[in-house]
Structure 1
Amino acid sequence: MAHDSRGRNAASITDRRSFLGSLGAAGTLALAGCAGFGGGDGDPFDDYGPQGAALEPSAVSWDDLGDLEGELTVYSGRTRDQIDPLFAAIEERYDEFTIDSDFDDNSTQLNKINEETADTRPDVFYTQSSGALAALKQDGLVRTLPEDVIDAVDDNYSDPDGTWTGASGRVRAILYNTELWEGGADALPDDIFAYAEDDRFEGIISTRPNSGTFRSFIVAMIEMEGEQATREWVRSMVEDQDATLYSSGSQQAEEVAAGNQAVALGNQYYAGRIVENDPDSPLDVAFTSGDAGCLFNVSGVGILEDADKPNLAAEFTRHVLAAEGQEFFVETNGEYPVLDGVEYVGDLPTLAEINPPEFDLNALANVEQAVDLLREEGMTV
């Protein structure tokens, strides 16, 4: 069996790429057993249950799910490049289905949803970080998901009460340039606090404070270590380490790969994308152990309590969580799947090889606490 330079099964990767390439070319194949749709502006489904096969942890295919018809309004806290290709693939498959999407950062989307009325809110909120979904849950703005969706995704990747579900996962990581950082991963601390205290990182480390996952990381640090310790960490990163602050995770990872930055705190998938496209890149990742520095977090989906088309939203959510959706996140975005039936085959360590902390993702709801702390300590872009 042929393998590439990083030990991956080359045939498997080729098959996966061919499979993903078929997403956009799927067209409008008729699905066996799909029910008809109602017309007009009403919800096209008769009930909240699955319109085709039920979602399963082992992963079902789009071929097994119900057809999609109508217009669905989706607010996204993820950037367009991270999620719009999947939206486009789903739209291309169904002639009568369109997604009215709105892209902005998590905080802006949360504020809009809270300020809007039931008549103007979206059907679905697709978040960059579970903290935003947990905040909507606290405000009573998301409804309980269908039972098959709740049962398919592990409680570690979703709300145990079933009001939101993770769609893909990522881990906070230490990105580093192997040509600039001597000693490799073994020379990098496995304690996140060392990166704010160790003189070796002064002037060579960076982070991205405007991202939802970084803010969730700050909330997790507050929960695990206390606000004062977190405040001192942020202050030391700004004042003592003179950390470079980026507004784009992709740019941050590219700067490390290009040798313009030695060490960066970011999400593992940004490095995974670069290494996937350039196996010879001097970019690698390391992880802290059991602390907020290697927090596992999810990007996820919630259906609004007053969604105009909750059943269409539910079937759309099944598509995101089906095999094709999960494969997209793994291969295209370098993220981790949230269903047991889909394997992570990227260049970076699997979750089993990392030691993220045990953490209730609903505890990430207080994003404004992190935003206030970062602003007060001068870590803003």
Structure 2
Amino acid sequence: MTLRTLFLASAAACTALPALAEVNIYTTRQPELIQPVMDAFTETTGIEVNLAFVQDGIVERLRAEGARSPADLVMTVDIANLSQIVDADVLQPVDSPVLNAAVPEELRSADGLWFALTTRARIVYASRDRVADGEVTTYEDLASDAWEGRVCTRSGTHDYNLALTAAMIAHHGEDYARQWAADLKDNLARKPQGNDRAQVRAIWAGECDISLGNTYYMGLMLSDEEQTEWANSVRIVFPTFEDGGTHVNVSGVGMTAAAPHRDDALALMEFLVSPAAQQIYAEANNEYPVLPGAEVSDLVASWGTFTADDTDLTELAGYRSQALRLMEEVDFDG
């Protein structure tokens, strides 16, 4: 048998093999944050999961790849990011009784293009030594003169803060939100910088007394030997809007239009909202499960309870461009 004949025979044998059982994911989340739940899925089903971390340009990448894209699923944080991916027309609808039953209606798109997997609250970290209980209760309070020179935050144009500003627009209108942002800027102890954990470090160092942050960062700090002291210098406060609840955002998933492994991808999506997967999310990432009845971790439970604001998430995404514009108008980061 010639080499050419042997090669052709081998190629023919390969094409006769069933397609690999795998799911390819483009994710803006650090892979280590979601690897535990992916490992559990593989152990349960035998289906391999390949994670590709795409920090920027995920929409552009999917558009450029088109029908040739190897990605089956997209996972990201923030409702605005999910909405941008939807608007790019790179996802396909998923009609799954399992997903529809597990994910509350307000945490998924009506057309099946995205489903929330976890939620997180945008809260206030307050100095245990310098801020009394009840001293800050609403997001509107942050613009009060009482906090002049006492607030730290990351960039006003970061997705997390834009979502909060969009929620302020939804509750009070753009003019109010613009003045709120300007007054909040006047209360800053320093120029916006760093991430949410950097703000807690600044409170520990005495540079400010309160900061905005996401709940799960407390868990991340407590798991880091260097940052535990920062975490212990603050407590979590769940502010509300004056006419609403505590601002929440989501991490979510959608199936790409190309999805070369659609059945396996759907199996993973359904697994991610199962009791087992939601418990892993809760324990590993200190996030809030979307599955009704799923328990939070003991650490998260120790932070207390809150009532989530009921503003529609897709409405918030629609206000993102206005939120960005007004943050730039008040030169929040300047």
- Does TM, normalized by the shorter one, top 0.5? yes
Asked whether 1:262 is paired with 2:209, we answer yes
Q: Which residue of 1 aligns with 2:161?
A: 214
Q: Which residue of 2 aligns with 1:63?
A: none
**Partners in 2 of 1:324 and 1:93 — Cα distance?**
11
Asked whether 1:78 is paired with 2:25, we answer no
Q: Which residue of 2 aligns with 1:173?
A: 123
Q: Which residue of 2 aligns with 1:118?
A: 67
Asked whether 1:253 is paired with 2:205, we answer no
Residues 120 and 248, structure 2, Cα contact 8 Å, conserved in 1: yes
Q: Which secondary structure does the structure 2 equivalent of 1:339 belong to?
A: coil
Residues 77 and 126, structure 1, Cα contact 8 Å, conserved in 2: yes
**Partners in 2 of 1:124 and 1:226 — Cα distance?**
35
Q: Which residue of 2 aligns with 1:97?
A: 48
Q: Which residue of 2 aligns with 1:294?
A: 246
TM-superposed deviation, 1:81: 4.3
From the superposition, tell whether residues 117 and 240 of structure 1 become closer, same or farther in structure 2 (CA, over 3 Å): same
Runs of 5+ in structure 1 lacking a partner?
1-37, 45-68
CA deviation profile, 1:281-306 (whole Å, cap 9, x unmatched):
13211122245882122111111233
Q: Which secondary structure does the structure 2 equivalent of 1:216 belong to?
A: helix
Residues 166 and 300, structure 1, Cα contact 8 Å, conserved in 2: yes
What amino acid maps onto 1:192 in structure 2?
Y
Residues 149 and 208, structure 2, Cα contact 8 Å, conserved in 1: no
**Partners in 2 of 1:150 and 1:39 — Cα distance?**
34
Q: Which residue of 2 aligns with 1:370?
A: 323
**Partners in 2 of 1:83 and 1:250 — Cα distance?**
20
TM-superposed deviation, 1:187: 1.5
Residues 169 and 296, structure 1, Cα contact 8 Å, conserved in 2: yes
From the superposition, tell whether residues 115 and 258 of structure 1 become closer, same or farther in structure 2 (CA, over 3 Å): farther
Asked whether 1:137 is paired with 2:86, we answer yes
TM-superposed deviation, 1:39: 4.5
What amino acid maps onto 1:221 in structure 2?
M
TM-superposed deviation, 1:97: 1.2
TM-superposed deviation, 1:168: 0.6
Q: Which residue of 2 aligns with 1:3?
A: none
Bigger shift: 296-305 or 216-225? 216-225
Q: Which residue of 1 aligns with 2:273?
A: 321
TM-superposed deviation, 1:252: 3.1
Asked whether 1:195 is paired with 2:145, we answer no
Runs of 5+ in structure 2 lacking a partner?
1-15
Q: Which residue of 2 aligns with 1:156?
A: 106
TM-superposed deviation, 1:90: 4.2
**Partners in 2 of 1:88 and 1:259 — Cα distance?**
41
Q: Which residue of 1 aligns with 2:11?
A: none
TM-superposed deviation, 1:260: 5.0
From the superposition, tell whether residues 100 and 285 of structure 1 become closer, same or farther in structure 2 (CA, over 3 Å): closer
Q: Which residue of 1 aligns with 2:234?
A: 283
Residues 282 and 289, structure 2, Cα contact 8 Å, conserved in 1: yes
Residues 205 and 241, structure 1, Cα contact 8 Å, conserved in 2: yes
Asked whether 1:182 is paired with 2:134, we answer no
Q: Which residue of 2 aligns with 1:333?
A: 285
Matches within 5 A, 1:52-63: none
Q: Number of paired residues?
A: 312
**Partners in 2 of 1:117 and 1:123 — Cα distance?**
12
**Partners in 2 of 1:104 and 1:380 — Cα distance?**
22
TM-superposed deviation, 1:128: 0.8
From the superposition, tell whether residues 262 and 306 of structure 1 become closer, same or farther in structure 2 (CA, over 3 Å): same
TM-score normalised by length of structure 1:
0.70
Cα RMSD of the aligned pairs, angstroms, is 3.2
From the superposition, tell whether residues 174 and 96 of structure 1 become closer, same or farther in structure 2 (CA, over 3 Å): closer
Residues 116 and 253, structure 2, Cα contact 8 Å, conserved in 1: yes
Asked whether 1:233 is paired with 2:144, we answer no
TM-superposed deviation, 1:349: 5.5
**Partners in 1 of 2:70 and 2:174 — Cα distance?**
34
Q: Which residue of 1 aligns with 2:10?
A: none
TM-superposed deviation, 1:161: 3.3
Identity of aligned residues (%): 21
**Partners in 2 of 1:302 and 1:144 — Cα distance?**
8
1:361 to 309, 313, 317: 313
Residues 195 and 201, structure 1, Cα contact 8 Å, conserved in 2: no
What amino acid maps onto 1:375 in structure 2?
E
Q: Which has the larger radius of gyration?
A: 2
TM-score normalised by length of structure 2:
0.79
From the superposition, tell whether residues 159 and 346 of structure 1 become closer, same or farther in structure 2 (CA, over 3 Å): farther
CA deviation profile, 1:89-146 (whole Å, cap 9, x unmatched):
54566666131412315xx323443454232373211111122223333444322222
What amino acid maps onto 2:113 in structure 1?
T
What amino acid maps onto 2:267 in structure 1?
E
**Partners in 1 of 2:324 and 2:17 — Cα distance?**
44
